[in-house]
């Protein structure tokens, strides 16, 4: 019966909520201290300035390239997204900075809450309705640490997570709509590397068609507005950023945010080429296992958390402020609907391991990839119906 939980599950659920609350307090305390002391030049929502300046230029002259003025920004802090991201951020240019920032944050948080409350997402996690505190309280509590970090950074990680969560939740009943929504992840291409592979391996032809149609629409509209030369300008900015990421010393900003396998290896002293090789092998492994599992279980909702966590492992350029989607993985694990129950100690270890990883990254101990890998193997163990570690 949905909502009928054993005492063990209720205790586990309460423990997860408590851990989430503690991590949220740690994040708030750390960011508050950074702002108060001015350590590391901390500025609230620092990255928002890039989106705001590009919105101002777009409002003033829509045909103006968002990449022209990048030389005036810090070398590791340019407008890196495809130009069509401006379709979603340009209205900010009509407002003063404080108002625009408030709208930027509130609209993303509101979107995330709306997606969590939507019927397709609720159907993914039916057991959460019977958890202590109810469905929405559980979802908000688990999401809170990730939301706090993304809001402090002034980034769009909440927007991207909402796209992927809603798009995959629509897949079973509304494949065309799912594809259209998922196609919006082209605004953050490094985050969507596995999505077309996932749709193709699962035989989701209508969803793949919707995905390709949306991506094509975005690119053609950008050609029409800015001209074909906009892609050369975008390429130059990306190549500049790649050169920075490959440098012997990564920018200080990356040390508490960049969370890929490549970044963790670099920050622990490995040279660029070996770290890239390990990252490439990990990406291929994730893609291969995803294809194999998807072919066997194309309509199984348990594929979704595997896709979510794989999206972080398959790219070298992913940040902690993009990790809002990890909260969806945790909500899947809390739901456990239809899974053969794993030992409480195993589930508790996963939650504690990921929690420690998030805190450790803030302390510049680069364990987030290990936490992500642990979650990855947990999900594989669910398919195998036995722990693999």
Q: Please give the structure tokens belonging to residue 203.
A: 């035989």
User: Are the C-beta atoms of 314 and 193 separated by less than 8 Å?
Assistant: yes
Average pLDDT over residues 18-39: 78
389 domain-assigned: no
Residue 76 pLDDT: 42
101 domain-assigned: yes
Closest CA to 31 of 149, 117, 124, 200: 149
Alpha-carbon distance 76 to 251, whole Å?
7
Alpha-carbon distance 206 to 151, whole Å?
35
CA distances from 249 to 47, 237, 242, 253, 268 (A): 21, 19, 13, 11, 11
Q: Coil, helix or strand for 258?
A: strand
In this predicted model, what pLDDT tens digit does every residue of 231-290 receive, in sequence order?
Answer: 888 888 888 878 877 777 777 667 667 788 888 888 778 888 898 999 999 899 889 888
Query: 12-21, 150-159, 264-273, 288-297: which range is least confident on average?
Result: 12-21
Q: Coil, helix or strand for 319?
A: strand
Q: Show the domain range for 216.
A: 7-384
Number of domains in the chain: 1
* 260, burial (CB in 10 Å: exposed 0-12, middle 13-18, buried 19+): buried
| Chain centre to alpha carbon of residue 210 | 21
* 298, burial (CB in 10 Å: exposed 0-12, middle 13-18, buried 19+): middle
In this predicted model, what pLDDT tens digit does every residue of 78-97 receive, in sequence order?
Answer: 678 899 998 999 899 999 99
Enclosing H/E stretch for 23: helix 7-37
Q: Please give the structure tokens belonging to residue 259.
A: 């969370």
- Average pLDDT of the chain, as a whole number: 81
2 domain-assigned: no
Q: Which long-range contacts (CB under 8 A, 24 or more apart) does 83-86 make?
A: 83/222, 83/225, 83/226, 83/230, 83/234, 84/186, 84/187, 84/218, 84/219, 84/221, 84/222, 85/156, 85/187, 86/54, 86/55, 86/58
* Helix orientation angle between 157-169 and 324-335, rounded to the nearest 10 degrees: 40
1 domain-assigned: no
Q: Between 3 and 356, whose confidence is greater?
A: 356
In this predicted model, what pLDDT tens digit does every residue of 93-127 receive, in sequence order?
Answer: 999 999 999 999 999 999 999 999 999 999 888 87
> Partners of 258 in the beta sheet?
319
In this predicted model, what pLDDT tens digit does every residue of 177-190 receive, in sequence order?
Answer: 999 999 999 999 98
Average pLDDT over residues 35-57: 78
Residue 3 pLDDT: 44
Q: Which long-range contacts (CB under 8 A, 24 or more apart) does 366-374 make?
A: 366/263, 366/264, 366/267, 366/268, 367/264, 368/259, 368/264, 368/320, 368/323, 369/259, 369/260, 369/261, 369/264, 369/313, 370/264, 372/259, 372/309, 372/312, 372/313, 372/326, 373/313, 374/349, 374/350
Alpha-carbon distance 78 to 238, whole Å?
9
- Residue 355, pLDDT > 80, answer no
Alpha-carbon distance 67 to 58, whole Å?
11
């Amino acid at each position: 019966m949905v909502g009928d939980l054993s005492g063990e599950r209720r205790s586990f659920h309460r423990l997860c909520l408590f851990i989430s609350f503690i991590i949220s307090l740690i994040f708030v305390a750390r960011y508050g201290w950074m702002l108060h002391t001015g350590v590391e030049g901390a500025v609230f929502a620092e990255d928002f300035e890039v989106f705001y300046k590009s919105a101002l230029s777009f409002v003033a002259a829509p045909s103006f390239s968002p990449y022209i003025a990048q030389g005036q920004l810090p070398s590791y802090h340019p407008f890196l997204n495809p130009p069509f991201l401006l379709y979603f951020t340009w209205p900010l240019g009509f407002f003063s900075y404080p108002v625009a920032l408030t709208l930027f944050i509130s609209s993303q948080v509101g979107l995330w809450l709306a997606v969590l409350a939507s019927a397709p997402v609720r159907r993914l996690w039916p057991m959460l309705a019977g958890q202590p505190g109810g469905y929405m309280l559980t979802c908000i509590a688990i999401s809170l640490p990730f939301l706090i970090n993304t809001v402090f950074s002034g980034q769009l990680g909440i927007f991207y997570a909402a796209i992927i969560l809603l798009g995959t939740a629509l897949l079973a009943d509304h494949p065309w709509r799912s594809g259209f929504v998922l196609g919006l992840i082209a605004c953050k291409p490094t985050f969507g590397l596995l999505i077309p592979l996932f749709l193709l391996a699962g035989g989701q032809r209508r969803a793949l068609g919707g995905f390709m149609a949306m991506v094509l629409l975005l690119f053609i509209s950008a050609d029409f507005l800015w001209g074909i030369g906009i892609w050369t300008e975008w390429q130059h900015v990306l190549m500049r950023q790649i050169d920075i990421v490959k440098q012997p010393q990564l920018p200080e900003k990356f040390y508490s945010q960049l969370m890929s396998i490549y970044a963790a290896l670099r920050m622990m002293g490995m040279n660029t080429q070996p770290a890239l090789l390990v990252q490439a092998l990990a990406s291929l492994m994730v893609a291969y296992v995803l294809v194999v599992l998807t072919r066997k279980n194309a309509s199984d909702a348990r594929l979704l958390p595997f896709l979510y966590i794989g999206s972080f492992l398959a790219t070298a350029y992913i940040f902690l402020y993009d990790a809002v989607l990890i909260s969806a993985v945790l909500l899947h694990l809390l739901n456990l609907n239809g899974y053969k129950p794993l030992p409480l100690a195993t589930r508790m270890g996963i939650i504690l391991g990921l929690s420690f990883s998030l805190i450790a990254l803030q302390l510049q101990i680069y364990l987030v990839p290990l936490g992500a890998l642990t979650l990855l193997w947990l999900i594989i163990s669910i398919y195998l119906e036995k722990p693999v570690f």
